[in-house]
Chains A and B, each alone.
Chain A
Amino acid sequence: MPSARAKLRAVVDPPADDVSDPELVARALRGDRRAEEAIFLRHAPGVTQMADRLLGSETDAEDVVQHTFEVAFRRLEQLDRPGSLRAWLLSIAVRRCHRVFRRRKLLRLLGIASHPEPDTLIDHLASGSSPESRAELALLDVALTRVPEKERVAWMLRKVEGLSLPECATACGCSLATVKRRIQAADTVVRAHLEGSR
């Protein structure tokens, strides 16, 4: 078990890329700490990126990612299909993000909004991006504020993070049909906004 001061050795000595997720999961279940580190190193950046963009707050995102991996290592034996490790990790993170959203909503309702306005997608845009990209993303940011939370999350997983539809379904904790419906619903709002702005 890593201590609070544990160093991520795999950062300087990364595992071979050809070690598959199922193999790493099997090793981690046998108590191999290097395998846990390798799982973290391979998947934490993706989970962090997703949480950053969904939540718009690096601090909240870090809490979510920490929680995600703590839960994941504790419940690793519950992972039915080790090949879908990424989607499973994202599903834990997405559930936690929803809790953050709920909390923010409630706090706003109570008039206690201690968080500054969350970052938007445009805050994540690479420097040197074209003015067209910047303009598109600014429109998307506005459009997404009009999309209900669950639909927005599904849409972002698909369109921003580039997850496959089955991965989106797993991450959102719903069926393939439901996730398709959510993405479609969000897409309709986004399209309408983009077209209305041209």
Chain B
Amino acid sequence: MSAERHGLPDRIGDAMVARTSPERMQRIWRGVGGLREARRRRRDVAVRAGGLAVAAAALLALGYFGGRAVSRDPTPAAQTAAPRGEIRFAGGGALPVSLAGERVVELDDGSRVSLAGARVEVVENGADDFVMTLHEGRVRYAVRPGGPRAWWIECGLATVRVVGTRFELERGATSLRVTVDEGAVSVRSHLIEGGVRILRGGEEVQLSEPVTPPADVSVQLPVEVEAADAARARAMGWQRMAERGDYERAWRVLGERGIAERTPTASAAQLLALADVARHSGHEEAALAPLERLLDRYPEDPDAALGAFTLGRIRDRRGQPRAAAAAFERALALPLPRSLVGDATARLAQARAASGDAAGASAAAADYLRSSPNGPRAAAMRALASPP
């Protein structure tokens, strides 16, 4: 071959760039750790399930269960030996390649797929991966967490990767909607900035095929538009960096100006991500605007309570107790995760006390003591609840 090649070295790879930055290697290493951890959890679950199965078998052998087992397999005749690791109907029947219409399918790994006017196909059904395609319609998935396989749903405009979660997909002719109720999925698509987005409970993404102008209508973009596009391209990927915890790099891409520019038009998830980039890169003040915007624009968002709590902490650290108290009040009025309610109540009491609202501080401290009489802040709250 080398005799025919004039421009390339014998080992062609020597002429190429290696995309193996330390950041990427670190990310992959974390992924390896995640996979190993997931496998360890699955093994633990399998061991426990095995123990239960042995116990159940022993009971059956003793004739403890007299009745016949109820099969949820819609095709009991299809109960043949399954290839190793294959997902089957909960009753044991083999899954067909194609599923369509209005039906609820229960699977033997504890997952459930509910079709609403949808058509799906099982592309791969193995020990490690379960791959489905969604051709059209709406499907609600409840994938059992800690199950033995990674689930992938190919939807044309995107690939959805699932570990264990409840979510819904709706595919139209040129659109796709992904809504996550619980857990998390990663949505990969060339239509998403950075190529991938992690969706968590309460989040949604809508993708639409861009409309291509007819070939005979060529539009010359003004210079300013081209410049704006270039700027957008430069900023591409900050969200991906934030999702991976690389806040320093994301800050270098965005800067204070980038955060300010994006805040007015960002989604709830993006606002939280912008605030995270600012906070974790050591620019806490720049997180205030996205968090305020989140509370103004998306008060119904499931993450609004977390946003308010974070805002309260920042205001508190910056010596603004009145604003901090307002933010903690807001957080407590929203569906804040239970694990944070005690902390938010205590912080509210202290912020009120610091802003001169002794009665308010006492009331909040009393609230804390009612719910957590032996909580970690009980001593401080007792002092505030009954001031000298």
Contacts and interface: CB of A to CB of B under 8 A. Distances in A.
Nearest to B29: A8
A111 B155 CA distance: 10
Interface string A166-198: 000000000000000000000100110011000
Given A48-B25, A62-B27, A70 B35 contact: yes
Interface in A24-80: 37, 40-41, 44-45, 48-49, 52-53, 58-59, 62-63, 65-67, 69-70, 73-74
B4 A124 contact: no
Contacts of B135: 110-112
Contacts of B24: 48, 62
A114 B189 contact: yes
27 contacts: A2-B29, A2-B33, A2-B36, A7-B26, A11-B25, A37-B29, A45-B20, A45-B25, A59-B188, A62-B24, A62-B27, A63-B31, A66-B34, A103-B123, A107-B133, A110-B121, A112-B133, A114-B158, A116-B190, A124-B16, A126-B15, A129-B15, A135-B7, A136-B7, A137-B12, A159-B1, A160-B11
B25 to A, nearest CB: 6
B17 interface: yes
Interface of B: 1, 4-8, 10-20, 22, 24-37, 39-40, 121, 123-124, 129, 131, 133, 135, 154-159, 188-190, 195-196
B129 to A, nearest CB: 8
Chief secondary structure at chain B's binding surface = mixed
B13 A161 contact: yes
A152 to B, nearest CB: 13
A37 B36 CA distance: 14
Given A58-B19, A112-B135, 19 more contacts: A2-B37, A4-B33, A4-B34, A41-B25, A44-B25, A45-B25, A53-B13, A66-B35, A70-B35, A106-B123, A114-B155, A114-B157, A126-B15, A133-B8, A136-B7, A159-B1, A159-B11, A160-B13, A161-B13
B15 A125 contact: yes
Given A11-B26, A62-B28, A127 B158 contact: no
Query: Interface extent on A, as a size class?
Result: 35 or more
Chief secondary structure at chain A's binding surface = helix
A1 interface: yes
B313 to A, nearest CB: 22
Contact of A103 (B11, B28, B124): B124
A132 B6 CA distance: 7
A103 B1 CA distance: 32
A49 B15 CA distance: 13
A134 interface: yes
Q: Which 8 A-B pairs have the closest CB atoms?
A: A132-B7, A162-B11, A2-B33, A133-B7, A4-B34, A66-B31, A45-B20, A70-B35
A126 B25 CA distance: 20
Interface string A83-106: 000000000000000010001001
Interface of A: 1-8, 11, 37, 40-41, 44-45, 48-49, 52-53, 58-59, 62-63, 65-67, 69-70, 73-74, 99, 103, 106-107, 110-116, 121, 124-127, 129-137, 140, 159-162, 187, 190-191, 194-195
Which residue, A4, A52, A161, has most C-beta atoms of chain B within 10 A? A4
Contacts of A116: 190
B159 A114 contact: yes
Contacts of A106: 123-124
Nearest to A40: B29
Nearest to B38: A4
A116 B195 CA distance: 10
A110 B17 contact: no
Contacts of B31: 62-63, 65-66
A187 B36 CA distance: 39
Contact of A59 (B17, B133, B195): B195
A37 B29 CA distance: 9
Contacts of B4: 191, 194-195
Contacts of A162: 10-11, 13-14
Contact of A44 (B28, B33, B123, B188): B28
B17 A73 contact: no
B25 A114 contact: no
Given A48-B19, A49-B18, A110-B121, A130 B7 contact: yes
